[in-house]
Chains A and B, each alone.
Chain A
Amino acid sequence: MDCIITIDLGTGAVKVSGFDLKGGIIGFTKGSYPTFHTKPDYSEQDPEQIFITMLYVLKNFLNEKIHPKKYKVVSICFSAAMHSVMTTDKNGIPVGNAIVWSDNRAKKESHDLIHSSFGKILYNATGTPIHPMSPLNKITWIKNNDKERFKQAKKFLSIKSYIIQQLTGEYVMDFSIASATGLLNIHTWEWEGDALKHAGITADKLPSLVPVFYSSAKLRKEYQSSLGLPAKVKIIAGSSDGCLATLGGGIWGEGKATITIEDSGAVRVMGKKVLKDEKQRFFNYLLTENNYVSGGPTNNGGAVFEWFAKQFGDFKRAFDLEGCMEHLIDDASKVPVGSAGLLFLPYLQGERAPIWNANAKGVYFGLNIKHEQQHFVRATIEGILYAIYSIGKTLEEHRTINSLCVNGRFASFPFWAQMIADIFNKPVNTKSDSDSVAVGAFLLSATEIGIYKNLDEAAKTVELPETYLPTRHHHNVYMKHYAIFERLSWKLFDEFEAIANLQQKQS
């Protein structure tokens, strides 16, 4: 029987999944790799370790789940986290580690650009918000601060480009990943000359641009034999985790938005056109021709709840962090909606959309003598979801949203999914046991080999059996609190800056 393998090169781990051609999952497995923070603001990963981990996990998966059952692998489709940058020298050997999305070293480069009219032109051309995450700013940082590396760099790659190059010998970058670099013109589908010039590079330093369906690169012989794969297995360039989570989340079509909450989070819509925002608050990434994924990211998703659990959770009751978080959610459910007036701004790691304020901090507000520990738990979850709502609300200035799909590790907790439905006052659909990135990559591969006519048809096959309906009464309570939440988020601008400066001096 034929099967499709998907490989997601995520932020902290590689995840390999296998699907039969009807989309049934055969199995999945993962392997993690570390992120190094050698200096404040630095987040790096070792491309060689990612490659070996991927190879190791893939080989084990094939040997345990695929080969013994005589599945024939038709294609392997890649997805990856966006915004990574690494450099290789004239022999194709990595120079230094890969700089990943969460790295903030290019603060100054970003700051300089965002306050210029040129920055606005670049945002309109590339669809990527001007931010330290953007490879545009990261490469500019290397040019300004690491001249030796810049000089040695024959290629500037994304992690996924490097992994595919190691497997096939070809330097390629799909349009989705490219559209998140700040270097691609999303209207003309070519590298944006002005952006390249700003970063100090030429197009020959970048991989070749290819569609997400690109499958002409051939797996090297050595890997064919070590992995036990046929010569004609297709290596599909694939897309980014954000775009594929949207495809696999099944929100295709008008009136729908998808909410993903992992460590960070995002609200996304699909559209046939670029979403133009005067205030530069949203990203626009490309999936295929006329399919744009637009939306806003938050830094403060599940990572904030994990922080809370680590600091204040009761580890006598629970064996580990997961168990501890479940207990906390239980506690939160015992507190009335609105946490008796305790509000939480979740900006522990600064914030991206919609306030785009790197200095923003966490705040508990409205504390009185009657508040107990479980009020803090509920307020924390409510605060994280208010931040998500603030992105959705801003998106609604441009698009109508009638229903939501939620996915990701945190959004699929029933308590969270219900709260999202109540805060947004919209029905929420979810499938808690599925990995929407892997499903998206499967749908892409299946379309590529002709099982579906196009992605529209593919996306319609996604089923989301669990539905949460909003409770009007709860929504009203949440909105009264949200109004204060939103005002505070803007009002504290000066104080956020002052405390950020103070903290910077102390660190």
Chain B
Amino acid sequence: MNHFIFKKGCIELLPFPHIVEFGSKKNTNIQFNSLKASATDLLRLYYVLDGKFEWIIDEQHFILYPGDLAIILPGQLLGGEKDLLDIGTVSWLFIQLKELALTGKLIPGKWSSLSDIESRAIGKLLILNNKPVLSKLKEAGVLFHQIQQELFNQEIGYTTRTNQVIDELLILLARQLTRQNDSRRDFPQTFMKLENTLRENLSHPWTVEEMAALVGLGTTAFSERVKSYTGFSPLNYVINIRISEALKLLKQKDVNVTDIALEIGFYSSQHFATTFKKLTGYTPSEFRKKNIPNK
């Protein structure tokens, strides 16, 4: 692949305000301070074509080989092991996402044709992922090459095609991330990880699609597996965790019932009270009174 760099503002990128930089470089000599650790507000993707790169991403050490894809999220640091760019060939794509919140909420921007649900699932995967390097992902190289072809040749429909390929790239890496979970081999362990995620984000309005995407299964297969493993449907399992958290919070004196309801993911205190009473026979306030006699 040739050496080229498109940067925001150049003519080729005018139809693509979300692409901040797209380039490829064959690095033949070592220059000091050529890759010092820095963070941006962009999603940065690097694909290695040749050579061996020693990088520190988000405070973890990685050695990248040809075929590897590095994902650097907005706010994460990327730098060379010795602050320099090693010898080899690498392509990169920097994208300005409209939003990628720590909760996993992802809005790519108008250019993308991913649905809201799909974007949210991809966002969750990106945020929860702690392995920023996906190894041996040759398909990513093919997609990088396609983007380059579209931008160089500018044939009819190239803006649509380019954006489609970027979507495809996001889908590819999301799928690869879910495959790493290897949920078929060890569903209990996969489920344990999911359970931790649910607990950490209990106020999030979880959907089955999102949970299924997190463990890399289709919704039907996911629901079946959860049902046979836990005895509950995925949504009922979440309610189960919510109510057990509620029991604990209600036994603490200083949190009011509405705050508890919202904190554990019910959309109103009525919704919370109805669900709670159905199960326990007590309203949340009665339950609290029974358990804290002094109040």
Contacts and interface: CB of A to CB of B under 8 A. Distances in A.
A74 B247 CA distance: 29
Contact of B236 (A56, A91, A226): A56
Contacts of A13: 230-231
A29 B277 CA distance: 22
A46 B236 CA distance: 18
Interface string B208-245: 00000000000000000100011110001000110111
A228 to B, nearest CB: 10
Contact of B280 (A29, A30, A222): A222
A12 B78 CA distance: 42
Given A52-B244, A91-B291, A92-B291, A315 B184 contact: yes
B195 A34 contact: yes
A70 B23 CA distance: 73
B282 interface: yes
Interface in A90-130: 91-94
Interface stretch (B48-56, B57-65, B112-120, B185-193): B185-193
B278 interface: yes
Contacts of A226: 277-281
Contacts of A55: 279-280
Contact of B243 (A52, A93, A320): A52
Q: Size range of the interface on A? A: 20 to 34
Interface string B273-292: 00001111110001000011
Given A51-B244, A57-B231, A310 B279 contact: no
Contacts of B232: 31, 56
Given A34-B192, A34-B195, A320-B184, A52 B247 contact: yes
Given A57-B231, A320-B184, A91 B278 contact: no
A506 to B, nearest CB: 19
Contacts of A49: 240-241, 244
Interface residues of B, number: 30
A92 B277 CA distance: 21
B247 to A, nearest CB: 4
B281 A222 contact: yes
Interface in A432-478: none
Given A32-B230, A52-B247, A52-B279, A319 B192 contact: no
B279 A321 contact: no
B230 A31 contact: yes
A310 to B, nearest CB: 5
A426 interface: no
Interface string A36-58: 00000000001011011101110
B157 interface: no
A71 interface: no
Nearest to B249: A48
A319 B187 CA distance: 11
A87 B4 CA distance: 66
Interface in A221-244: 221-227
A32 B281 contact: no
B240 A56 contact: yes
A52 B291 contact: no
Nearest to A307: B186
A45 to B, nearest CB: 11
Given A48-B248, A49-B244, A92-B291, A32 B280 contact: no
Interface in A163-219: none
B98 interface: no
Contacts of A93: 251, 291
A51 B247 contact: yes
Interface of B: 184-187, 192, 195, 225, 229-232, 236, 240-241, 243-245, 247-248, 251, 277-282, 286, 291-293
Given A223-B280, A321-B185, 8 more contacts: A13-B230, A34-B192, A34-B195, A53-B244, A56-B279, A226-B278, A226-B281, A315-B184
Give the 9 A-B residue pairs with the shortest CB-CB distance, closest first: A226-B281, A222-B281, A49-B244, A31-B231, A48-B247, A52-B244, A32-B230, A48-B244, A30-B231
20 contacts: A30-B231, A48-B248, A49-B244, A51-B244, A51-B247, A52-B240, A52-B247, A52-B279, A55-B280, A56-B240, A56-B243, A91-B293, A93-B251, A222-B281, A226-B278, A226-B280, A310-B186, A313-B185, A319-B184, A320-B225
